[in-house]
Structure 1
């Protein structure tokens, strides 16, 4: 079977090779593909084709995808957590150094000098760019996932004192954190004790405007805020007031809006935190591998709207179901298979909120019987999407 994939935003071609020979990449020409691979393409308001089974975001954030709509259509949405983590980490470390020494301002100033005595002018004026060192300063890291953990560890190596806040930090991540990192039990500890603060959390109703007036009121003077996560995590009006009163020394963000441009003490970058050759390749590889695994085996890894489901396929056929998470659904599924005169070798059902995903491995070699069973599922209540996978 050949699967079709529609790509957006110039996905790295080397990474797409991971799809293998069973995939046809048609770019924007294919109208009813099996899969999308996207980067920044905004899918809100887009009508998804009936055949679409999976969307892979070559990056971590998925705010450009209407997750609820995709889920209701039985479309599994993947991201690539960690694939661009090193790139963003390096961008944050660079931003910390830029803030401490104002290298950008120094470069802009020195390029205004003219005359034979430029060296003398440089020596006379360089004091205004003396800056400070980051060693011994305190960095607060909000969110200790793939990116935040790397930043925290590297900041310790650079001689900084590091406070980390993440109420949902995984055990695996916790084992990898440097022992010198102080764990904050409340986010307010970050605001009260940090010279630099960087945030690495998804944008949700709970995290929106994490940096608000109340947060800035807890801070001391001359704090640098670094935001390579999402622009909406900062209340800009409260930020401007905090800059005016000297609470915020500098704000560095990767998310530009008109109100942030051309303002003193604000550095806006054009969403380049994860834009390195290595990161784009890693994201394309991970997205391709995830799609291939899902379409060829039905297994789910790194989905944002469905749970992880892994089960080795050892039978001639597998049926996958996206279904509503309602009582007795597994029993009803099993009964339908039994009524079809087919034995279930393995079945696994995992739920997430109002939806669930079911894998059914069938001890049956008659393809027509399997197709008839799948057709019955398609007409069943609470079954959203049905697939047959042949070993």
Structure 2
């Protein structure tokens, strides 16, 4: 690998937060080209530079044949994260492009924000923070987490970490998953049941399903209507899992007492998103995995995957 190769990094804040990973790539004779935008790159922006790129550390930009056919040198896309619904794995394989991801490394960060959003929703702390700074002295009466039923839709690594953290809150934990991990469930007193039972019985429903064609708009009008009156809904998984029109209606009718979402059907969001009409929804900008610890560990894993490909070794977490 004597000739210098070019790595496009579309994940943001790479130099600041992934310095060790960048140094590792440069030490192995890679030139780093960073995303100049504080957002996912668009097709037109990728089109201008992809022709000379040998490898990509990908954020949540879209990667499919429309880009692959313009990228004759591209050999590997190393996803800076877990979800690869933005990458067409079959088309990548057809073009000889290996795709990897970085599983498990962001689980704690996402789980911590999930618990944060649950607690903030129950106690209305975001609105109280704003009103107190405005000189008001509201007597908002919140709800305690203790004694509540918390339903986890999906029980992968992140949901398992959420269960671990909630175990000490004296809650009743329910979970739905097609491939239940009974050993970990038993460790935290998690009871597996149907998603219908979770929706009907839970005071708080937390979304952790993967983004697949069959889970698109999993939470639709019918399923929001199945939830308990005055319950809470949290989504730190993927925006496509939730029909935002149905979520709007659930908030408008009072079916939901409150909601908290970190992900959206269309990202980045715009200020005219109808959900911003409500005070009883907490919205964050797909930030659940944004921690220094995640950037450091994922940065190193994605860099090593790229190095392995050009050393003609099978990279860890090869997906196609």
TM-score (norm: length of structure 1): 0.69
Counterpart CA distance in 2 for 1:82 and 1:204 is 19
Map 1:72-87 onto structure 2 (within 5 A): 72-87=94-109
Bigger proportion of residues as helix: 2
Counterpart CA distance in 1 for 2:27 and 2:58 is 20
Q: Which residue of 1 aligns with 2:177?
A: 166
Counterpart CA distance in 2 for 1:144 and 1:284 is 25
Q: Which residue of 2 aligns with 1:38?
A: 58
Q: Which residue of 2 aligns with 1:224?
A: 232
Residue 140 of structure 1, aligned match among 130, 136, 151: 151
Map 1:5-24 onto structure 2 (within 5 A): 5-8=7-10, 9-11=12-14, 12-19=18-25, 21-24=27-30
Contact 1:7 1:25 survives alignment (8 Å): no
User: What is the total number of aligned residue pairs between the two structures?
Assistant: 290
Q: CA deviation at 1:22?
A: 2.6
Against the structure 1 CA distance between its residues 237 and 26, is the aligned structure 2 distance closer, same or farther, given a 3 Å change threshold? closer
* Aligned-partner SS, 1:280: helix
Counterpart CA distance in 1 for 2:205 and 2:24 is 38
TM-score (norm: length of structure 2): 0.83
Q: CA deviation at 1:203?
A: 1.5
Larger radius of gyration: 1
The higher-RCO structure (CA 8 Å, 6+ apart) is 2
1:239 equivalent to 2:247? Answer yes
Q: CA deviation at 1:226?
A: 0.7
Gaps of at least 5 residues in structure 1 are: 114-120, 307-391
Counterpart CA distance in 2 for 1:195 and 1:265 is 16
Counterpart CA distance in 2 for 1:108 and 1:26 is 41
Q: Which residue of 2 aligns with 1:269?
A: 284
- The root-mean-square deviation of aligned C-alpha atoms, in Å, is 2.2
Contact 1:152 1:164 survives alignment (8 Å): no
Q: Which residue of 2 aligns with 1:180?
A: 189
